Amino acid sequence: MTANYNMKKLLRNKLIVEQLDQMPIFRELLKDYQENLPFKDLQIIISHVLVPNTIPLIACIMIGGGKILVTNSSSVNNNDVIDILRSAGVEVRLNYYKATDYDYAIDVGGTFSKKPPKFGIAEVTRSGYHEYAKNGVKQVIINVDDSKIKLLETFFGNPKSVLRGIKQFLGEPETFLKEKELTIIGFGKIGRGIARLFQKYCDINVCDINSEILAKAQKLGFKTYLITDNKKLNSDFLIETDIVMTCTGFSQTMTKYFMKSALLGKLLINLGAVDEFGSDYTSEEVFMSKDRPFNFNLNPPTENHYIDAILAGHVEGLRYLVTNNLSSGIHPLPKNIDEKLLIKFKEHNNENISDMYRYFDFDRI
């Protein structure tokens, strides 16, 4: 594989210029990587959602000396993005998940968990973490999902996108959600963000398999239900709800734990990176799509200023992996990298993120 990339053509493309105008952290990273070449001569395979704001991440690895192949982590493929990458000399091979010939990988959703690269992976999703843990990968994995900066995307950005999608496809939230009951399956990063934002529009129920997490939800003022192994009991508290949103990070959740008859006639929305409704449900029964997050029907799926820090954290996680001698297994993004990027977000954005500390138990920075 040769790395004969046309970086000038890539970075001068109008679409990419627009992305970088909204992503100040990446503008700084590009300069840093061009100077320091952290990926010089490394073979790196990238599996990512092929949308415009992914290109700055790919460009960082290219300009940092990496020899890359790009594939898609989902069915969301922007043809303009693929054309832009190919015109800059990047090999794009869709639905290619064999990383064994590569040194390292950037991954979204555990797509390389069965055929991982030689040395290590930087993964950015909870579902991807589950895939690598389940398959017992012996390489080094940096799990960027375990970070404060991920909350900028999942707790703040994604819920705003879901609300934007409600407005675009179903009607004004103040009208469409009025006097409705929303049940959130999973009270992790996205679930807490949905509850926080949507409570001003409708009644909220929270379901989770973890009683400690539900105690947190109760403390925040939400009605809660514990998911058990009894499908009928689980389903009983869905009968009165109007809308069900899933965000557990696990595939097949609704098929495994709930009776489909309890969800007939309800608005079903998947917010997870995997099919959380599962085999009991057709794509037509889940609003817009059951195979990808609801917000991926939007352009952009999440506003760039919420994505800037976590995408930077993804590539910085790879840099940390490459430049440090780590033991095999799954490691979180180092705290100093996480906090540095959160500080940069605060420097570039005049936005109050204090609720992050109320909904999640960690120290302020």
Q: Check residue 75 and give its pLDDT.
A: 79
Query: For 166-176, what is the mean pLDDT?
Result: 98
Non-local (6+) Cβ contacts of 298 within 8 A are 161, 164, 165, 168
Q: Check residue 135 and give its pLDDT.
A: 85
Collapsing DSSP to helix, strand or coil, 212 comes out as helix
Domain boundaries, the chain: 7-143+304-333, 151-297
Collapsing DSSP to helix, strand or coil, 192 comes out as helix
DSSP code of 280? Answer: T
Q: Check residue 234 and give its pLDDT.
A: 93
Q: Is the pLDDT of residue 3 over 80?
A: no
Q: Check residue 2 and give its pLDDT.
A: 46
Question: Which residue in this structure is represented by tokens 């954005």?
Answer: 349
Same fold, 7-143+304-333 and 151-297: yes
Residues 283, 291 contacting (CB under 8 angstroms) = yes
Q: Is the pLDDT of residue 161 over 60?
A: yes
Q: Check residue 260 and give its pLDDT.
A: 96
Q: Give the Cα separation of 131 and 145 in Å (integer).
A: 13
Q: Check residue 81 and give its pLDDT.
A: 95
Q: How far is CA 66 from CA 166, 185, 203, in A?
A: 40, 40, 49
Q: Which CATH superfamily is domain 151-297 in?
A: NAD(P)-binding Rossmann-like Domain (3.40.50.720)
Encode pLDDT of 20-67 as tens digits. Answer: 999 999 999 999 999 999 999 999 999 999 999 999 999 999 999 999
Q: Is the pLDDT of residue 326 over 80?
A: yes
Cα–Cα nearest to 42, from 330, 315, 337:
315
Q: Give the Cα separation of 98 and 108 in Å (integer).
A: 14
Query: For 276-291, what is the mean pLDDT?
Result: 95
Encode pLDDT of 295-316 as tens digits. Answer: 999 988 999 999 999 999 999 9
Q: Is the pLDDT of residue 94 over 80?
A: yes
Query: For 340-354, what is the mean pLDDT?
Result: 95
Q: What is the pTM of this model?
A: 0.93
Q: Check residue 365 and give its pLDDT.
A: 64
Burial class (CB in 10 A: 0-12, 13-18, 19+), 323: exposed
Residues 34, 63 contacting (CB under 8 angstroms) = yes
Q: What is the mean pLDDT of the chain?
A: 95
Residues 97, 75 contacting (CB under 8 angstroms) = no
Q: Which residues partner with 330 through β-bridges?
A: 141
Q: How many CA atoms lie within 13 A of 349 on its CB side?
A: 22
Q: What is the CATH number of domain 7-143+304-333?
A: 3.40.50.1480
Q: Which residues partner with 45 through β-bridges?
A: 69, 105
Q: Give the Cα separation of 330 and 20 in Å (integer).
A: 31
